[in-house]
Amino acid sequence: MTKISPAIKDLFRIRELAIDDFSKVFHIGEQVFTVEYSQSLYRTWDEYEITTLFNSDSELCLVAETGDEILGFVLGTTVTKHNSPWKYGYLVWLGVRKDIQQVGVGSGLFKEIKHRMKEQGVRMMIIDTSADNQPAVRFFKKQGFDDVQEHLYMSLNLTRKSIKKTVKKP
């Protein structure tokens, strides 16, 4: 990847994701969603995330680019609940190349997906991230999100044999 000037915010454009972009988007996600960054994101980021969202809501799958170089992406979807007048927008993934974070690419992607969701009748947008992911929490608060709620994430390793402790009766 080539080094890009901090003046990039005036030079990139946002467009819908195309099939030819899948590989580049996947590799940016691999760079950003590492096990050190977030174990839960690392475990769930894979090529099926891109194809599934693209196949269901392609107009909410966007990339930021300059020239022919992809700088970042956002993938989202909408949810309509039965018996509810509300339509929800779910921003599933937002990733920007590590070497150009904090120059406006993520904000530009967010602004565009928010605009598209509003056009589709979305009344509330939802995101989720790890509670200890302070850069993401700061970013989303800056975009206007509030009502931060923590949730518990649990896992069970099914390949490990469980050890049952027996208590001997006296």
Confidence of residue 10 (pLDDT cuts 50, 70, 90): low
**Mean local confidence (pLDDT), 144-154:** 77
In a domain, 160, yes or no: no
In a domain, 169, yes or no: no
In a domain, 63, yes or no: yes
Helix or strand or coil: residue 94? strand
| Span 29-86, pLDDT tens digits | 999 888 776 666 657 788 888 999 999 999 999 999 998 899 999 999 999 988 888 8
In a domain, 152, yes or no: no
In a domain, 150, yes or no: no
In a domain, 147, yes or no: no
Q: What is the pTM of this model?
A: 0.80
| 97, 2 Cβ separation under 8 angstroms | no
Confidence of residue 153 (pLDDT cuts 50, 70, 90): low
Residue 39, domain extent: 6-142
Tell me, what CATH number does 121's domain have?
3.40.630.30
Q: Which of 48-52, 88-92, 114-118, 160-164 comes out lowest in average pLDDT?
A: 160-164
**Mean local confidence (pLDDT), 129-148:** 84
Report the DSSP pairing between strands 87-96 and 69-80: antiparallel
Confidence of residue 7 (pLDDT cuts 50, 70, 90): low
Give me the residue label for tokens 């967010």: 110
| 63, 17 Cβ separation under 8 angstroms | yes
Q: What percent of the chain has pLDDT over 90?
A: 49
What DSSP element (H or E) covers 139? helix 134-142
In a domain, 20, yes or no: yes
Q: How many domains does the chain have?
A: 1
**Mean local confidence (pLDDT), 114-142:** 89
Residue with the bigger pLDDT between 52 and 4: it is 52
In a domain, 114, yes or no: yes
